[in-house]
Amino acid sequence: MPLTEPAREGPGVLEAQPAPGAPFKLIVLDEVDSTSTVAKRLCAADAEDRTLVWAVRQTAGRGRLGRTWISPAGNLYVSLILRPDADATRATGLTFAAAVAVADAVEELLPGATAVRCKWPNDVLVGGRKVAGILLESSTSAAGLLDWVVIGIGINVASHPPDDETMYPATSLAAEGAAGAGLEQALGVLCRHLDLWLRRWAEEGFPAVRRAWLDRAHGLEAAIAVRAGDEAVLEGFFRGLDEDGALILDQAGVRRRVTAGDVLPGQAPASPAPSS
Ligand code: BTN
């Protein structure tokens, strides 16, 4: 599926083309600071729902919680603009829908029965290592409705950052045996799964997404450690997600909701506790 030459980013309107495998309008760029930053600029310029920005490389890729997303050529960097007719409180469900879509896409791209898991809130792991990350940004109208949502997705296709104690251990599709997976193939598979899960989110709501995410959840019912939004490290047993997508942590029988943060690598040294 040949794509047109990457467009140069400029102040004017960027030319879009049909995306492979799904009804998205695709904008292909060469080097950008961040596809999500470009997408947010396009939102301000009235970009349409389902516009997808794809870049070959990023010079200032952004991750969650202010982190950097290292973005050499060879990996997939896309940001999808959505303009859902929905209350702002529903945006969280979109990140979980995107995570399930990315996990399904990664599974399709990998040979054999490799374990693909979703790590709270929206990372995708293969063999316990991070292969993809998702960054959701949104803007809300005065009436509390979503004005726009930008879902930024990075998938390590050809390479991944080396192990380093400051970040979750990473992997790539190539390292997991899909050395032949090309970027255009990966994009097509991703678009198809994103389209499917965005429809399910719109038609069936968060419960369907939540069920699918829990089926793939990393560490469910196990002892975990979570770095919460306030930097405190909380330990306990991972009992699931509530109806808002918060992680339910069981601390000696007391259930606590964690609304922001990251599940840390490895298992927490918590002593076994009965399910409650
Ligand atoms: C994370 O795991 O912290 C989220 C990483 C999100 C990275 C993607 S790459 C495409 C888009 N552009 C960005 O600058 N970030 C997202």
User: Which domains can be identified in the chain, with CATH numbers?
Assistant: 14-215 (3.30.930.10), 223-263 (2.30.30)
Task: Determine the residue type at 153.
Answer: I
Residue nearest to atom 2 of ligand 1 (CA): 133
Centre of ligand 1 to C-alpha 199, Å, is: 22
Environment class of 164 (CB within 10 Å of its CB; exposed 0-12, middle 13-18, buried 19+): exposed
pLDDT score for 7? 54
Query: Which residue has tokens 């292909």?
Result: 28
Contact (Cβ atoms closer than 8 angstroms) between residue 233 and residue 190: no
State the average pLDDT over residues 116-130. Answer: 96
Provide the mean pLDDT of the chain: 90
Least confident of 7-16, 69-78, 214-223, 257-266: 7-16
CA–CA distance, 214 with 29 (Å, rounded to integer): 35
Query: Residues enclosing ligand 1, CB less than 6 A?
Result: 34-36, 58, 61-64, 67, 69, 77-79, 123, 133-135, 152-154
Helices H / strands E in the chain, number of each: 4, 13
Nearest atom, ligand 1, residue 64 CA:
3
pLDDT of residue 3: 47
Rg (the chain; Cα; Å): 18
Q: 276, 253 in Cβ contact below 8 A? A: yes
Minimum-distance ligand 1 atom for the alpha carbon of 58: 14
For the question of whether the overall pTM of this predicted structure is more than 0.75, the answer is yes
Pairing of strands 76-82, 146-155: antiparallel
pLDDT at 247: 97
φ, ψ for residue 234, nearest 5 deg: -110, 140
Q: Give pLDDT, residue 14.
A: 63
Percentage of residues of the chain with pLDDT beyond 70 = 91
Mean pLDDT, to the nearest integer, of 89-99? 95
Contacts for 230 with CB less than 8 Å, ≥ 6 apart: none
Which has the higher per-residue pLDDT, 60 or 14?
60
Predicted local confidence at residue 6, as pLDDT:
53
Structural contact between residues 58 and 127, judged by C-beta atoms closer than 8 angstroms: no
* Helix or strand run (H / E) with residue 136: strand 129-140
DSSP state of 272: P
User: Is pLDDT at 243 greater than 70 in this prediction?
Assistant: yes
The closest residue, in CA terms, to atom 7 on ligand 1 is: 154
Give nearest CA residue, ligand 1 atom 11. Answer: 152
Highest mean pLDDT among 10-14, 113-117, 154-158: 154-158
Q: What is the pLDDT of residue 271?
A: 47
